[in-house]
Structure 1
């Protein structure tokens, strides 16, 4: 008896499924992105246009908003608003700088305090000898009126305030401070607490930085340089990235 012939089934080539599934995945992703873009509201569109300000210098390009009113936000108009805000901020900081420099000179601190206005913001540099005893972090009573004046001038500015402590490179280690870092931190902290508690500046504006000896601006090999490096700096940070010439 002859054996039955075996029938071999032919397998269908299914290699096409892989690129097909990839294509469907990409289409799905595209539809999701398009749907999300259609739901962007006017406030988000305004935020996006402001973000483009830093890289676009002008022109008539527009950002289309998919909100209910279909409004069009012009990038060049957003840039003009940014520039207007920057000019207004510059004017306020320049006014504070001029008033501070006048008061510092009248109070006899011209050689111990400096005020600088640059692209980062307005910096008030206070050398330690006028505000603290050597190796201590408590604010001297005779210096508190100066801090009150500074606080009164900057209280209404809608800007972040960073207070940083700096020392020279002479090591310190005593019952109160293990290092220059500790000393620089406590000095910055005490200045901040005074401005918050006594001068009523909103505490959410503040941040503290303690650099110890590691950000010197002057030569630590001389006594004059070390004296200038020992300081507490109050920085009123710019909100606007542009820096108008003035």
Structure 2
């Protein structure tokens, strides 16, 4: 009977071995929550809490029942890390501030340039109206710059690249208006699709190039202009702005375009310089 009683007492004993892995799980969860809490900002106190928690969870023991003592944190190391993080943050803030200041400078320069080009456009428009040339000259301000379009009948006789005497005054007036605005300027000649084959102009390429060059030469008679900022080119018949099927359309395609280029093509970047 005694033996039977001892067996019954043994069977009633509660097995508590499950507490050990359960306690380990709680420890890891506690360490995780501490890390999440401390990750919002780095300072010496929170850094020490993180180090201690990881030490407990990963190297300090097997469970909360053993109550391991964490390894102390070196305060100097914490301060060094904190200074490094603070320095990095300060550098980033400074870079953002410098970027913002640079952006403001670009915006101010872009706006000033736009105002200058608008003033030049207004001056050219006033000249056009005053001399009743609205059917032969046009101006257009865009992100690329100020375009001044001159139909060929305002400058040349048919099939000729020689600028008429009365048109020289127009070129000189435009040159005078360009002096206060030292920009890159391109002069481009265009023709219609009507073929030309003379000794002087074997093709429309030759005619358009010669017209652009001759107009540019008169502009540069004004010695106040920097010739290194100017260029001339001919594009023949290959960039029409109207149909070549009608006389009116062909008249629009025969033109010289003078483009005053921007130094800033948008609010962020300076325009690419051309040589």
Question: Would you say same fold, with TM above 0.5?
Answer: yes
SS at match of 1:182: helix
The residue that corresponds to 1:99 in the other structure is 123
Tell me, in whole angstroms, the C-alpha distance in 1 between the residues paired with 2:257 and 2:215. Answer: 10
Instruction: Confirm or deny: 8 A CA contact 1:163 1:188 kept in the other structure.
Output: yes
Q: Does 1:141 align with 2:165?
A: yes
Tell me, in whole angstroms, the C-alpha distance in 1 between the residues paired with 2:142 and 2:265. Answer: 11
User: What displacement does 1:61 show?
Assistant: 5.8
Q: Does 1:80 align with 2:104?
A: yes
- Higher strand proportion: 1
Unpaired segments ≥5 residues, structure 1: 1-59, 64-71
Computing the radius of gyration from Cα coordinates, the structure with the larger value is 2
Change (3 A) 1:61 1:111: farther
User: What displacement does 1:158 show?
Assistant: 2.2
The residue that corresponds to 2:132 in the other structure is 108
Tell me, in whole angstroms, the C-alpha distance in 2 between the residues paired with 1:243 and 1:141. Answer: 42
Instruction: Confirm or deny: 8 A CA contact 1:167 1:184 kept in the other structure.
Output: yes
Normalising by the residue count of structure 2, what TM-score does the alignment of the two structures yield?
Answer: 0.61
Change (3 A) 1:61 1:235: farther
Tell me, in whole angstroms, the C-alpha distance in 1 between the residues paired with 2:108 and 2:242. Answer: 36
The residue that corresponds to 1:117 in the other structure is 141
In the TM superposition, structure 1's runs of 4+ consecutive aligned residues that sit over 2 Å from their partners are 60-63, 197-200
Tell me, in whole angstroms, the C-alpha distance in 2 between the residues paired with 1:74 and 1:132. Answer: 53
Q: Does 1:221 align with 2:245?
A: yes
More moved, 190-199 vs 81-90: 190-199
Tell me, in whole angstroms, the C-alpha distance in 1 between the residues paired with 2:177 and 2:150. Answer: 16
Tell me, in whole angstroms, the C-alpha distance in 2 between the residues paired with 1:189 and 1:61. Answer: 52
Unpaired segments ≥5 residues, structure 2: 1-91, 269-275
Tell me, in whole angstroms, the C-alpha distance in 2 between the residues paired with 1:154 and 1:73. Answer: 37
The residue that corresponds to 1:181 in the other structure is 205
Tell me, in whole angstroms, the C-alpha distance in 2 between the residues paired with 1:243 and 1:110. Answer: 32
Tell me, in whole angstroms, the C-alpha distance in 1 between the residues paired with 2:171 and 2:267. Answer: 27
User: What displacement does 1:156 show?
Assistant: 2.0
- Higher helix proportion: 2
User: What displacement does 1:209 show?
Assistant: 2.0
SS at match of 2:188: strand
The residue that corresponds to 2:192 in the other structure is 168
Instruction: Confirm or deny: 8 A CA contact 1:196 1:203 kept in the other structure.
Output: yes
SS at match of 1:74: helix
Instruction: Confirm or deny: 8 A CA contact 1:152 1:199 kept in the other structure.
Output: no
Aligned residue pairs total 177
User: What displacement does 1:106 show?
Assistant: 1.1
Normalising by the residue count of structure 1, what TM-score does the alignment of the two structures yield?
Answer: 0.68
- Deviations 1:189-246 (Å, cap 9, x if unpaired)? 01111111245421101112210000001111111010010001000001102169xx
Tell me, in whole angstroms, the C-alpha distance in 1 between the residues paired with 2:129 and 2:176. Answer: 18
Tell me, in whole angstroms, the C-alpha distance in 2 between the residues paired with 1:113 and 1:234. Answer: 11
